[in-house]
Amino acid sequence: MSFFSFKKNTDLSLVFDIRDTFISVAATRFENDKKPEIVYIQRFSLDVEDTKDTKKYFNSLVKIIDKSIVSVRKSLSKIGNKDTIKKYHFFLSSPWSISQSKLIKFIKDKKFTIDNSFLQKIILGESNKIEKDIEYIKSGADWFLFEEKIIRSKLNGYQVEKIYQRKAQDVEVDIFVSFLSQELLLKLKTVVDVKRMKMDINSSILSSFTFLRDLYNDKNNFIYIDISSNITDFYVVRDDVVFGIISFPFGEKDIIKNISKKFKSSEDVVYSLISMKCHGKCDKSTKDKIDEYVEYGLQEWTEKFDSTITQICSESNIPKNIFVVSDSDFDKIVYNKIKKDFNISILKKFGIDTTVELIEESVVDGYLFNGNFFKNEPYVKMDVVFLNKNLNKK
């Protein structure tokens, strides 16, 4: 008998969280005014060592998308689930998507009505400009706009929830847009049977931003740091709006590699020691050794963070709240080290009194049914919470 109970004649959605070196897939049941139910989660790793070879990297992603769909369907069948899968939700993070935010201002002599024509003009106009910039930076590759959101709007200086069909002279709109390559878009479309299923694409940035903004509605200014395997993404939120988004190609694997070279230990040994400390299985001498490892490993990461954050923030607008989400022992060790010593020198230099907070997976589980049965999957769970919020808005 399956551990989970299944209702008859219900539909499932597959939620894909596509990151730099793995994909997490969550089979989820959504119902109005109820917590979403996690039926099953499975993670799949990309089989690629050299991510600089973009063709091999992309082909590895394509293979793992196909594999994940087949595997999850088989696993659902094995646990006794007979629900029909009706929708695929894809969430993209770096390097598979690029997101940007922008403030747009309009001031006219007379009041005018804000209608669909006006909104389409300003959003599409700015989106086209951003798309051209991206194509220039990314060597002319074709990019597709898959996400466009108004994060905040003001009329005549006052923040409002809805601006449609209202009149104003002074309009401010903060927009958030995301793009993916045409090549990836085509692949995602081929895995979905459009005659029987629906699909949508979202960014992981919008998912985490929405979750954190709702969780901490009293904190309107913060930095979110996401250290992935090969990439560090972070964004800065000012006055409840995504102020800047940036990333640099240095992540967990690079930190571990630096530690391994410095202390002449294999990468497997470094990971093993970190796991031992996290689970309280080592003495004080070993703990001190691991702290030394991590402090050294973070030096280059810190330098890159320092130089990167100054590209989007000045001394006067760096937030003091920093949030980190953990899906591994490594993340927890890094979080504890940053929280304890906070050796991010640029913030020390500015004399900023920072607060670093780890978002535990159990916090996300509080918004889900059955979420706690699947460990170390906070990102795809936040995606599920994001989708459920949008469902209940309709």
Do 353 and 216 belong together in one domain? yes
Residue 343 has pLDDT above 50, yes or no: no
Do 230 and 331 belong together in one domain? yes
Write out pLDDT tens, residues 48-63.
877 888 889 999 999 9
Please tell me the distance from the alpha carbon of residue 128 to that of residue 318, in angstroms, as a whole number.
29
Please tell me the distance from the alpha carbon of residue 83 to that of residue 9, in angstroms, as a whole number.
7
Give the ranges where 164-283 is alpha helix by DSSP (H): 182-190, 204-215, 252-263, 267-278
Beta bridge pairs of residue 356: 322
| Across 290-297, average pLDDT | 83
Look up the pTM and report it: 0.88
Q: Is residue 240 within a helix (H) or strand (E), and if so which, with residue range?
A: none
**For residue 41, what are its two tokens?**
């989660």
Residue 30 has pLDDT above 80, yes or no: yes
Do 229 and 121 belong together in one domain? no
Do 250 and 356 belong together in one domain? yes
Do 332 and 238 belong together in one domain? yes
pLDDT band at 321 (very low <50, low <70, confident <90, very high): confident
| Across 340-353, average pLDDT | 56
User: For residue 154, is it within any domain?
Assistant: yes
User: For residue 368, is it within any domain?
Assistant: no
Q: Which residue has the higher pLDDT, 126 or 387?
A: 387
Please tell me the distance from the alpha carbon of residue 92 to that of residue 119, in angstroms, as a whole number.
25
The domain that contains 116 carries what CATH number? Answer: 3.30.1490.110
96 neighbors 62 (Cβ within 8 angstroms):
no
Q: Which domain holds residue 259?
A: 211-361
Do 119 and 166 belong together in one domain? yes
Do 139 and 220 belong together in one domain? no
Do 241 and 158 belong together in one domain? no
Give the ranges where 241-283 is alpha helix by DSSP (H): 252-263, 267-278
Q: What is the pLDDT of residue 7?
A: 52
Total domains in the chain come to: 2
Q: What is the pLDDT of residue 61?
A: 94
